[in-house]
Amino acid sequence: MAGQAQLIFDEYGQPFIVMREQDKQKRLTGVEAIKSHILAARAVANTMRTSLGPRGLDKMLVSPDGDVTITNDGATIMEKMDVQHHIAKLMVELSKSQDQEIGDGTTGVVVLAGALLEEAEHLLDRGIHPTKIADGYDLACKASLETLDRLADQFPVEDRDRLIETAQTSLGSKIVNRCIRQFAEIAVDSVLSVADLKTRDVNFELIKMEGKIGGRLEDTMLVKGIIIDKTMSHPQMPKELKNVKVAILTCPFEPPKPKTKHKLDVTSTEDFKKLREYEKETFETMIRQVKECGATLALCQWGFDDEANHLLHHHNLPAVRWVGGPEIELIAIATNGRIVPRFAELTTEKLGSAGLVREITFGTSNDRMLVIEECPNNRAVTVFIRGGNKMMIDEAKRSLHDAMCVVRNLVRDSRIVYGGGAAEMACAVEVAKQADKIEGIEQYAFRAFVDALESIPMALAENSGLPPIDTVAALKAMQIAQSNPRLGVDALHKGTNDMQAQKVIETLVSKKEQLSLATQVVRMILKIDDVRVPNDEHEH
């Protein structure tokens, strides 16, 4: 069998896995190879195990450039971990696909896959063929998914308070959980603002997250409009405008230049004066065109020089320069305006409108940003995140994204199961009952699947400071005795195991996806019995 798998860190603090004595061995094939693959994948899963649940621990990841990330978001940890082993990379892909499809449950899916592989290893030791194990897992997964469908409760998507409770479950394990209610409300309100309940669709493109260092997490707020990290181009322009008509320009405020290489000879003072007059006239014509169509604010994707800036102020036309492309698009959506590429095309119909445009100042250094509110199309919203340092803001963005994904999943499919390991435990109880009906050797894999499902509540209990085996055994007995699939691990020590009472809820979509994805990846790993690396005799 392959040597020990060891998790070590390089000089930058990046974790990676080393398979000891692998290079000295002959090529591993068959069961031996599968066992060495399981070893590598489990090493990754064990790293993630301690991050599961509301009391899960965070990981500090240091990039080769020295950038520090502190997070317990499964997908982020897996993405930034420098995994060298080919099979372990499959686990990274697993958490990525959970993140892209669902957005939440990225840690759970890796832990479950690790547990399934651990059970598979015991079965391989007993001489059971890997294909039989994979088939048994597949059958058990189908039975689990049917059980989840049967146990799922319908969720009232119209009830905002219930949605907030679900978002709180997702945020409970994150660093922002000291202002969990506030963040849950922001997540729910932002998703409901952009959700189309008829088609059950949510467009995340319309939610923008803007973070600024300084202030406290509690200062985070949701703005029903757009925030752009810009200020008025001239310090004496008004800081607040009401009932604004916005001209959204993607053409520069400057005299037109020939596109080919051009050379201008200024040979006398008169020439220079003429040039200056020409520039001034061009600017004034442009400003007049903007004002004549009724605009009271110009947003420009390009810059303009001091001359133009002075003239804009002189003609009482507030303007903002260097507004980025994505912001321009969002502003156009929110204000119902059209993006205008040439001054000649400006018309009154193409202007956007907003009830209020104001500059907000914050922090001791008086940083300023521009807020565009009370727009006719209030589906575009911005979350403005504050925090003591960049790491806090980044983690808050990741946490909010997970919570928004949970709310989005409920809008798409409003069925729920209960968290805290309750759903996994209920599946384990149900699948165990069906194990005797399975004929053939797959029955062993079926039972192994049950043991792997129990590893989720066990990891939750362990991370919450409870005795894992006693807790899970007691839970199982209670679920069977009371026929209550809502009983889970009391991770926050609230004195009740009923997850419905604790309001710990997970979306059915997320839970089903976790089980399916973990099972599929494990099947894939069990069917690989040889790894060929180009230009290399040995497996790495």
As a three-state string, the secondary structure of 382-426 is: EEEEEECCHHHHHHHHHHHHHHHHHHHHHHHCCEEEECCCHHHHH
Show the tokens assigned to 231. 């200020």
pLDDT of residue 158: 83
pLDDT digits (tens, 9 = 90+) for 505-530: 888 999 999 999 999 999 999 988 87
Work out the pLDDT band at 2, boundaries 50, 70, 90.
very low
Architecture of the CATH domain 225-377: 3-Layer(bba) Sandwich (3.50)
Q: Average pLDDT for residues 385-403, to the nearest whole number? A: 89
Q: Is 305 a catalytic residue?
A: no
Q: Average pLDDT for residues 15-23, to the nearest whole number? A: 62
Q: Is 402 a catalytic residue?
A: yes
10 backbone φψ class: left, alpha, beta (φ>0; ψ -120 to 50): beta
User: According to the per-residue pLDDT averaged within each range, which of 83-87, 505-509, 532-536 is highest?
Assistant: 505-509
The answer to whether 135 touches 444, Cβ cutoff 8 Å, is no
- In the three-class reduction of DSSP (H, G, I as helix; E, B as strand; rest coil), residue 216 is classed as coil
The DSSP code for 345 is G
pLDDT of residue 20: 59
**How many residues in the chain?**
540
Among residues 106, 166, 296, 471, the one annotated as catalytic is 106
Higher pLDDT, 2 or 497: 497
421: closest CA among 40, 55, 38? 55
What is the β-pairing status of strands 221-223 and 381-387? antiparallel
**Residue 426 reports pLDDT greater than 50:** yes
Among residues 99, 104, 135, 402, the one annotated as catalytic is 402
Percent of the chain with pLDDT over 70: 93
**Residue 59 reports pLDDT greater than 50:** yes
pLDDT of residue 262: 63
pLDDT digits (tens, 9 = 90+) for 273-290: 887 888 788 888 888 888
pLDDT digits (tens, 9 = 90+) for 291-320: 888 889 989 988 887 878 888 888 888 999
CATH match of 5-154+417-526 with 1.10.760.10: no
Q: Which residue matches tokens 């697993």?
A: 94
**Residue 369 reports pLDDT greater than 90:** no
Which residues make Cβ contacts (< 8 Å) with residue 368, sequence separation at least 6?
231, 359, 360, 361
- How is domain 158-208+387-413 classified at the CATH fold level? GROEL; domain 2 (3.30.260)
Compute the distance between CA of residue 394 and CA of residue 449 in angstroms, rounded to an integer: 37
Q: Average pLDDT for residues 346-355, to the nearest whole number? A: 88
**Residue 26 reports pLDDT greater than 60:** no
pLDDT of residue 258: 58
pLDDT of residue 24: 46
Q: Is 107 a catalytic residue?
A: yes
pLDDT of residue 295: 87
Give Rg (Cα) of the chain: 29
> In whole angstroms, how far apart are CA 252 and each of 102, 278, 293, 304, 353?
42, 16, 18, 7, 22
**Residue 539 reports pLDDT greater than 50:** no
pLDDT digits (tens, 9 = 90+) for 219-273: 888 988 888 888 888 888 888 889 989 999 888 877 766 555 666 677 888 888 8
Among residues 73, 99, 104, 135, the one annotated as catalytic is 73
The Cα angle at residue 102 between residues 457 and 476, in degrees rounded to 5: 15
pLDDT digits (tens, 9 = 90+) for 438-492: 888 888 998 999 999 999 999 999 999 999 999 999 999 999 999 888 889 988 8
**Residue 21 reports pLDDT greater than 60:** no
pLDDT of residue 25: 46
The answer to whether 386 touches 220, Cβ cutoff 8 Å, is yes
Would you kindly state where each structural domain of the chain is located, as residue ranges? 5-154+417-526, 158-208+387-413, 225-377
The answer to whether 502 touches 494, Cβ cutoff 8 Å, is yes
pLDDT of residue 327: 85
Q: Average pLDDT for residues 197-220, to the nearest whole number? A: 85
Compute the distance between CA of residue 48 and CA of residue 221 in angstroms, rounded to an integer: 31
pLDDT of residue 149: 93
Q: Average pLDDT for residues 329-349, to the nearest whole number? A: 87
Among residues 47, 50, 69, 107, the one annotated as catalytic is 107
371: closest CA among 389, 363, 388, 383? 383
Q: Is 347 a catalytic residue?
A: no
Work out the pLDDT band at 81, boundaries 50, 70, 90.
confident
pLDDT of residue 196: 83
Percent of the chain with pLDDT over 90: 21
pLDDT of residue 420: 87
Higher pLDDT, 274 or 14: 274
**Residue 23 reports pLDDT greater than 60:** no
Q: Give the helix/strand (H/E) hosting 505.
A: strand 505-507
Average pLDDT, the chain: 85
pLDDT of residue 501: 87
**Residue 1 reports pLDDT greater than 50:** no
Work out the pLDDT band at 176, boundaries 50, 70, 90.
confident
Show the tokens assigned to 126. 């007993």
